[in-house]
Amino acid sequence: MKLNGRVAVITGASTGIGAACARELSRRGAKVVLAARSAENLAVVADETGGIAIAGDITDAAVQRQVLDTAVARFGRVDILINNAGVGVYSPSHSGSMADIRQMFELNLFAALALVQLAAPGMKQQRDGMIVNISSIAGLAPLPWFTMYSATKYAVCAMTDGQRMELARYNVRTMAVCPGYVRTGFSTNVLAGKPPEKLWRNRRFAITAEECARATADGIEREKRTVVTPKAGWALVWARLVAPRIVDHYLRNIYEGLDEAGG
């Protein structure tokens, strides 16, 4: 799918991966409709990309409808939906706040599903489109400091794979993007807890939001099923398949020392 002239809706577009995707798709000729809670930050990205900004809580059904309706009213169609908005919880699954975990599922999974349900009818009618769900490497290999976040992202990957089969007859494609550690403000904006110290020390292996956005845009153009970025992340995925005990031991070592009460 060539991006030039396409209409893309991007959630969580005020900062981080979402903002970088807006800039990258715009640079490749796409028209972007941007959604996020921060009106101020969103306005900056919209100004940079020539996009349309819609500020609001994307878990709100009225905001979800407004985003899709605005895109169709302005451009007549939606070609690409990028479900990027998300949040994390570092609390252990066996003791974390159920309210935090439910809130995380509401944003990471149910809001994304609701937007797919709003975008799919138009894509089916035009018999063309692509749904991009931003998951995580945690959606392919569970991380013990991020257990329930991993659960949301596993669900996102499963949803993406199932929707690919559901919508194939309408020429609507789906793609999951599974980044590793990305240098954004994500870790400081989690609902609860903090990452292990050993994880912070491994930040030298992180990629930038711009690198993730380029991999996402390339994946759309090549109509990939799954994008793992950086590609070295595939090593963890495959290692877990062939040597799960070794990978579990490695991840437990990273998890060691994390204050359970603090996340």
- Output the pLDDT for position 119: 98
DSSP 54: E
How far apart, in whole angstroms, are the C-alpha atoms of residue 81 and residue 7?
9
The set of residues, in sequence order, having a beta carbon less than 8 Å from that of 6 and lying 6+ positions away, is 25, 29, 30, 31, 79, 80
Is residue 170 part of the annotated active site? The answer reads no
Residue 2 belongs to a domain: no
Residue 57 belongs to a domain: yes
Give residue 139's domain range.
7-262
How far apart, in whole angstroms, are the C-alpha atoms of residue 98 and residue 109?
16
Q: Give the chain's domain count.
A: 1
- Output the pLDDT for position 187: 73
Q: Residue 109 in contact with residue 158, Cβ under 8 Å? A: no
Q: Which of 90, 149, 154, 255 is catalytic?
A: 149
- Output the pLDDT for position 186: 79
- Output the pLDDT for position 193: 78
Residue 66 belongs to a domain: yes
- Output the pLDDT for position 151: 98
Q: Provide the whole-model pTM.
A: 0.92
Q: Which amino acid is at 74?
A: R
- Output the pLDDT for position 194: 78
Beta-bridge partners for 53: 34
- Output the pLDDT for position 58: 98
- Output the pLDDT for position 253: 85
Residue 113 belongs to a domain: yes
Residue 1 belongs to a domain: no
- Output the pLDDT for position 189: 81
Quickly list H helices, the chain.
16-27, 39-49, 61-75, 98-105, 112-126, 147-167, 197-201, 209-222, 233-242, 244-255
Digitized pLDDT (tens) for each residue of the chain, 263 residues in all:
999 999 999 999 999 999 999 999 999 999 999 999 999 999 999 999 999 999 999 999 999 999 999 999 999 999 999 999 999 998 999 999 999 999 999 999 999 999 999 999 999 999 999 999 999 999 999 999 899 999 999 999 999 999 999 999 999 999 999 999 898 887 778 888 777 666 655 565 689 999 999 999 999 999 999 999 999 889 999 999 999 999 998 888 888 754 443 44
Q: What is the CATH number of the domain that holds 41?
A: 3.40.50.720
